[in-house]
Amino acid sequence: MFTKVFPALSSSSEQLLKMMRRNFNALHNSPFDLLVIGGGIYGAWTAYDAALRGLKVALVEKNDWGSGTSQSSSKLIHGGLRYLKYGWFGLVHKSLQERKRLLKLAPHRIFPLRFLLPVYEDSGMNRLTLKIGLSLYDVIAGGDSGLHKHHSVSKEEILKTLPFLSEKKLLGGFEFFDAQTDDARCTLEIVYGALQSNAVCVNHSEAITLLRANNRVCGALVKDLETDQTLEIQSKITVNTAGPWCQTILKKGEAENKKVRLTKGTHLVMPLLSKDRAILLSTRFDRRVFFLLPWYGTTLLGTTDTDYYGNPDGLCVGAEEIAYLLAEANHYLGLHWKKTDVISSFTGLRALKNIPGKSPSSISREWVLEESEKNLLLSLGGKFTSARMDATQIVNRALEILGIPVKNQPTKDRPFPWCPDGNFKGWKQQKIQEGCSLGLDTETANNACHRFGSTVDHLFSLIRNERTLANRIVPEHPFCQGEIKHAALHEMARTPEDTFRRRIPLAILDKAKWVGG
């Protein structure tokens, strides 16, 4: 816990404890209408949606919010251009509609990202086919998508914009838009929304096993990993959104477990290439697309897509994955990245509905809701982008089982919990000025507006009482020391990893200098 890592909090700070507080004892208040197991983006949206509809909700997570697959995404809010290749038009349409919605509901959290798609002679990408695909992408997105449509760019324009790209065999390319986010903080914000809507949300609490009675699931045995206390939580409906750990909770036999397929996606954190442009390329080995994405002053290189058969808790980045990604990137870059250029890496698992005989890349990312036992809902597949919409369907089904009429979708048009009121640009300009008056530099103040949204006032209050908290944690990255204290006070961070991996991403942006490492 933080009491072992940081000094005692001042009494003045105690007055600001209005946000996220961990309270395992609140789980004693069962039975619940809905028990959600797994605090990634799907569990967070499910708990938030259900609480807004008046259900009595509990959400438990064995580690920290978004600490599994949700912190290891490509940080994109996108339709999935490559999915058109497999004919997954329904998934692309749903994702693009959600992209449009999220851009409106969370201007502080979701923002446009410009992509460049270079076409090389040996890239396996046909320019006409790409033109048709991008045109279809624009049509599906609709005329009011909020983003510019794609357009062609010449070889000369590409090299002028991104001079580090290889000129050899470059034919030209295309430019299009998608969107980007900080996945861990996005998940945290939705958990906050659930808490504010009267859900009980407790991290570092593991669902050990499901409870069963009368041939139906009726809750779970949950262990507080901070105190080793165990508690039987009764619930009318149990939702398993544990992703790669869903099989551990189910404790089913091998035949049942084969219904779930785990695929692994790895990213490397590399030096910055471009502050405002992402790059989409195709591998030579298997013609999969991969990205070079700007993120907090670095470049994310990924992702891989391979089967995984081990224990999810033993997941790590393999040397062969690093070599694969560097080789494919270096084929198109004139930088000749080496293993020593890798700042850090991260990897995650996708829990998909298994389709035997399919390669990992060709297995559908479509979300499915399984009901193998009465009163147990299992969420499989899906995308970070479409999690809100899928969670709505989870809650709809729970209401049907409970015999409660399905009347509305409370998250459909509701701004994100930390979305500032009014015009975001005007609000941000005002808050940047306020932050600078407290001693923050402009970049750090701007960064804080996007990361904290309306809760930035809590951060500013801490800095106002202790001005040294305006200093950067490390000089190279725009995160101030007040964010460490804020994480402990207001964001349920319990360990250094909670703070320096998910609340503040220094563990992956600057691992060698990570103050908590």
Give Cα 461 distance to the centre of its chain.
28
Residue 34: φ, ψ to 5°: -140, 125
Please give the biggest Cα pair distance in the chain: 70
Query: What rounded mean pLDDT belongs to the chain?
Result: 92
Q: Are 473 and 515 contacting, i.e. CB atoms less than 8 angstroms apart?
A: yes
**Contact 189/416 with Cβ under 8 angstroms?**
yes
Q: Contact at 8 Å (CB) between 75 and 300?
A: yes
Cα(441)–Cα(460) distance, integer angstroms: 13
Fold of 31-70+185-259+364-402: FAD/NAD(P)-binding domain (3.50.50)
The pLDDT of 165-175, averaged and rounded, is 95
Helix 456-465 to helix 482-490 angle (10° resolution) is: 120
What are the residue boundaries of the structural domains of the chain, listed by start? 31-70+185-259+364-402, 110-181+261-351, 424-513
Q: CATH classification of 424-513, choosing from 1.10.1740.110, 1.10.645.10, 1.10.8.870, 3.40.50.300? A: 1.10.8.870
DSSP secondary structure letters along 242-276: -GGGHHHHHT--HHHHTTEEEEEEEEEEE--S-SS
Q: pLDDT-derived band of residue 87, with 50, 70 and 90 as boundaries?
A: confident
Strand bridging mode 205-213 / 289-295: unpaired
Of the listed ranges 9-18, 55-64, 128-137, 155-164, the one predicted with least confidence: 9-18
Question: Residue 144: which residues within 8 A CB-CB, separation 6 or more?
Answer: 100
Phi, psi of 430 (to 5 degrees): -65, -40
How many whole angstroms separate alpha carbon 276 and alpha carbon 114? Answer: 7
The token pair at 464 is 């106002």
- The winner for highest mean pLDDT among 85-94, 185-194, 364-373 is 185-194
Please return the burial class of 426, using the count of CB atoms within 10 Å of its CB with bins 0-12, 13-18 and 19+: exposed
**Token digits of residue 167:** 């000129």
| pLDDT above 50 for 382 | yes
Q: What is the pLDDT of residue 253?
A: 52
Instruction: Report the alpha-carbon distance of residue 128 to residue 199 in Å, rounded.
Output: 51
Taking each continuous run of H as one helix and of E as one strand, the counts in the chain are: 16, 18
- pLDDT class of 19 with cuts at 50, 70, 90: confident
Is the per-residue pLDDT at 500 higher than 80?
Answer: yes
Contacts of 393 (CB under 8 A, 6+ apart): 369
230-240 and 32-37 beta bridge pairing: parallel
CA distance 499 to 109: 19
Region 12-40 average pLDDT:
81
Q: What residues does 502 pair with on adjacent strands?
A: none
Tell me: the pLDDT tens digits for 129-167?
A: 999 999 999 999 998 888 999 999 999 999 999 999 999
State how far the Cα of 347 lies from the Cα of 71, in Å rounded to an integer. 9
Tokens standing for residue 81: 């251009």
In the chain, the percentage of residues whose pLDDT exceeds 90 is 82
Question: Would you mind telling me the total number of residues written for the chain in this entry?
Answer: 517
| Per-residue pLDDT at 361 exceeds 90 | no
Which residues are within 8 A (CB) of 177 and not within 5 positions of it... i.e. 6 or more apart?
112, 113, 114, 115, 147, 148, 150
pLDDT for 511 equals: 74
Q: What's the fold here for domain 110-181+261-351?
A: D-Amino Acid Oxidase; Chain A, domain 2 (3.30.9)
Neighbours of 341 (CB within 10 A): 12
CA distance 297 to 26: 40
Provide CB contacts within 8 A for 61, sequence distance 6+: 38, 39, 40, 43, 67, 202, 203, 204, 205
The pLDDT tens digits of the residues spanning 416-455 come to: 999 999 999 999 999 999 999 999 999 999 999 999 999 9
Question: CA–CA separation, 320 vs 410, rounded Å?
Answer: 45
Is the alpha carbon torsion for 434, 435, 440, 443 positive or negative?
negative
* HSE toward the beta carbon, residue 505, CA cutoff 13 A: 25
Give the Cβ contact number of residue 332 at 10 Å. 24
Q: Copy the structure tokens of residue 474.
A: 């490390």
Structure tokens at 292: 């070079």
